[in-house]
């Protein structure tokens, strides 16, 4: 039985019905749908659009349906979509009063409201998970503030950095993601209910009542826009895409750093996988999967943007296509952030390997050039002199921190004994003490700053 079949002389064919249906996926909206219907019925009763007893019967019936879906005694099946299912079930239970629920309402403002409620809850879920992840990174940063590791550009060793600063870089990214989700929550908490099919309604509804009941901050001001606006779903998809981009970079670092060639980190056995043929292998499947899933989250964003493009005002059934992509985005985002939080909590840091590696690749060469420049040599000349020193080390197969002072002085008389400390990785990392730099002190300030900004969430 369809909500709209009065106008038709033949029932919908089975193939058309199954193509058209959305219950198989929009049943996830059942809580939102029932909450919105309870608010709507309450308002209809308070405004005397329907009798208060009828409103009461509707609300009681809806709550019963909710309880039965939650405890598994009522299977959500056999209707076109979640809205038809709930209404049909209500009418089956309470009869004619149930048929009044849809007064002054359309499935168009109903689905727009349901999606807002669901996405709002999902934003709160994303914020909680991102907070955990950022806190985990803060903990790792705190315990590794004094450790030294190589910093890279172009995936070539560039300068020694503190490990603390490394983890804080990711904390900054996820903090921006938190900001984005929280700004989205504030922007999207606007109620479309009361827009009806597209143009509002002639019933004396009071949208303030439903707004308060559903905890929206504002009421939409244009019904044509309100029923067809899915910007908030697209923004969610974009925010999720950027989280995945950040996670995927962390995955890439993880895969490299845990390889035999790098050996900086070790993935704990509980989070590793093996090979079915090569007995010696320990594979980074989890980071690879998270990196891989990033593509499908981007895909959902692009699919939705393409769906929204070119839709004539107001509601069009194309909008039903927002849901599967959104639900998959949510599930993927939540599972990836959760697994990475667990993984980062347990990741073993091979402090000595990182320290040894930090000295490779002449990573303190910039410090040598800076040393000369600070003593009055123009930086360009200092760069050239240091370049020659590096050349010398390459030819002699030695390193900057192993050559004697006499070699330095052959290249420039400005070098004095203190240069021998400058070329060590610790002095190098600790020397970069500018705000936001890699020294322990600067990284500690960064840590306090991230911790303070995280408190908001």
- Show which residues are catalytic: 154, 275
Tallying the residues shown for the chain, one arrives at 457
Closest residue to ligand ARG, Cβ-based? 320
What secondary structure letter does DSSP report for 154? T
Question: Of residues 314, 319, 349, 419, which one binds ligand ARG by CB under 6 A?
Answer: 319
Closer of 232 and 315 to ligand ARG (Cβ): 315
Question: 95: which 2 tokens?
Answer: 């009869």
**Could you tell me the smallest distance in angstroms from the CB atom of residue 214 to ligand ARG?**
18
Closer of 271 and 315 to ligand ARG (Cβ): 315
Cα–Cα distance, 213 to 195 (Å, whole number): 17
CB 37 within 8 A of CB 43: no
**Could you tell me the smallest distance in angstroms from the CB atom of residue 337 to ligand ARG?**
27
DSSP H helices, 21-51, are 23-26, 30-46
**Could you tell me the smallest distance in angstroms from the CB atom of residue 208 to ligand ARG?**
25
Closer of 2 and 383 to ligand ARG (Cβ): 2
Contact code string over 17-56 relative to ligand ARG, x by CB under 6 A: -----x---x------------------------------
Cα–Cα distance, 398 to 125 (Å, whole number): 53
- Counting residues that bind ligand ARG (by CB under 6 A) gives 10
Closer of 106 and 412 to ligand ARG (Cβ): 106
**Could you tell me the smallest distance in angstroms from the CB atom of residue 149 to ligand ARG?**
50
Closer of 35 and 365 to ligand ARG (Cβ): 35
Phi, psi of 21 (to 5 degrees): -65, 155
**Which one of the spans 5-13, 130-138, 312-320, 433-441 is the region binding ligand ARG (CB under 6 A)?**
312-320
Give, as ranges, the residues between 97 and 126 that touch ligand ARG (CB under 6 A): 107-108, 111
**Which one of the spans 133-141, 147-155, 315-323, 372-380 is the region binding ligand ARG (CB under 6 A)?**
315-323
What is the SS3 assignment for 16? Answer: helix
Phi, psi of 155 (to 5 degrees): 55, 25
Cα–Cα distance, 266 to 71 (Å, whole number): 43
Give, as ranges, the residues between 5 and 24 that touch ligand ARG (CB under 6 A): 22
Under rule CB under 6 A, residue 317 binds ligand ARG: yes
Q: What angle (nearest 5°) sits at the alpha carbon of residue 163, between those of residues 157 and 168?
A: 110
Closer of 102 and 345 to ligand ARG (Cβ): 102
Cα–Cα distance, 453 to 457 (Å, whole number): 8
**Could you tell me the smallest distance in angstroms from the CB atom of residue 184 to ligand ARG?**
21
DSSP notation for 301-344:
HHHHHHHHTTPPSS--GGGGGHHHHHHHHHHHHHHHHHHHHHHH
How many CB atoms are located within 10 Å of the residue 130 CB?
A: 25
Under rule CB under 6 A, residue 81 binds ligand ARG: yes
What is the SS3 assignment for 22? Answer: coil
Question: Site residues (CB under 6 A) for ligand ARG?
Answer: 22, 26, 81, 107-108, 111, 315, 317, 319-320
């Amino acid at each position: 039985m369809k909500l709209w079949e009065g106008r038709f002389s033949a029932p919908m064919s089975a193939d058309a019905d199954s193509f058209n249906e959305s219950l198989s996926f929009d049943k996830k909206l059942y809580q939102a749908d029932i909450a919105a219907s309870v608010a709507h019925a309450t308002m209809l009763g308070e405004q005397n659009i329907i009798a208060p007893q009828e409103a009461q019967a509707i609300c009681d019936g809806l709550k019963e349906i909710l309880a039965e879906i939650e405890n598994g005694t009522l299977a959500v099946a056999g209707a076109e979509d979640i809205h038809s299912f709930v209404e049909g079930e209500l009418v089956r239970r309470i009869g004619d009063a149930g048929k009044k629920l849809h007064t002054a309402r359309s499935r168009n403002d109903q689905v727009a409201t349901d999606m807002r409620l669901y996405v709002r809850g999902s934003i709160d879920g994303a914020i909680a998970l991102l907070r955990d992840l950022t806190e985990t990174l803060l903990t790792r940063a705190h315990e590794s503030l004094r450790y030294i590791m190589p910093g890279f550009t172009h995936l070539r060793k560039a300068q020694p950095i503190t490990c603390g600063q490394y983890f804080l870089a990711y904390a900054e990214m996820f903090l921006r993601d938190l900001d984005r989700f929280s700004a989205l929550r504030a922007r999207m908490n606007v109620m479309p209910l009361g827009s009806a099919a597209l143009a509002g309604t002639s019933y004396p509804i009071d949208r303030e009542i439903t707004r308060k009941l559903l905890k929206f901050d504002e009421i939409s001001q244009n019904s044509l826009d309100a029923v067809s606006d899915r910007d908030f779903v697209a923004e969610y998809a974009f925010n999720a895409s950027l989280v995945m981009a950040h996670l995927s970079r962390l995955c890439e670092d993880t895969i490299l750093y845990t390889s035999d060639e790098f050996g900086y980190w070790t993935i704990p056995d509980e989070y590793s996988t093996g090979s079915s043929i090569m007995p010696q292998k320990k594979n980074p499947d989890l980071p690879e999967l998270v990196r891989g899933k990033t593509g499908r989250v981007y895909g959902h964003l692009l699919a939705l943007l393409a769906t929204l493009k070119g839709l004539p005002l107001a509601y069009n059934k194309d909008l039903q296509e927002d849901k599967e992509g959104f639900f998959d985005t949510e599930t993927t985002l939540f599972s990836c952030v959760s697994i990475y939080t667990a993984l980062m909590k347990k990741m073993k840091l091979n402090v000595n390997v990182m320290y040894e590696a930090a000295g490779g690749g002449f990573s303190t060469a910039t410090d040598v050039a800076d040393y000369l420049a600070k003593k009055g040599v123009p930086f360009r000349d200092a760069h050239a002199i240091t370049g020659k020193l590096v050349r010398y080390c390459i030819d002699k197969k030695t390193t900057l921190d192993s050559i004697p002072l006499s070699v330095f002085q052959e290249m420039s008389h400005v070098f004095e004994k203190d240069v021998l400390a400058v070329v060590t990785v610790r002095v190098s990392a600790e020397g970069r003490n500018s705000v936001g730099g890699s020294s322990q002190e600067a990284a500690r300030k960064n840590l306090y700053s991230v911790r303070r900004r995280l408190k908001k969430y």
